[in-house]
Amino acid sequence: MFYERIKELRNSLGINQVEFGKRINVSKQCVSNWESGYIQPSIDVLVRIATTFSVSADYLLGLNDKPTLDVEGLTNEQILHIRAIIDDIRK
């Protein structure tokens, strides 16, 4: 599950494995191995991945199917704007 989620989220940002690796301070080979299901990241790297994608570690690990958005630091007006966009997409 993890390897599918990380690849899906990386692609949703439109970045390749090299760029993603740079963002979380790991090699392209690490990202490739995760996406192939060969290895799992350490806990500290898992936290960096979750933070980069603004999702929970539970979501990345397949323990929860609900992705969440981190809206910390946004104003109430900005959050309402995001909710309106989501509602519009759902229609």
The model's pLDDT over 6-48, given as tens digits with 9 standing for 90+, comes to 999 999 889 999 999 999 999 999 999 999 999 999 999 999 9
Measured distance CA(43)–CA(57) in Å, rounded: 9
CATH topology of domain 2-90: 434 Repressor (Amino-terminal Domain) (1.10.260)
pTM score: 0.71
The CA–CA distances, whole Å, from 1 to 27, 38, 64, 83 equal 21, 12, 11, 28
pLDDT at res. 79: 85
**What are the two backbone dihedrals, phi and then psi, of residue 37, each rounded to the nearest 5 degrees?**
80, 15
- Sketch the domain layout of the chain as residue ranges: 2-90
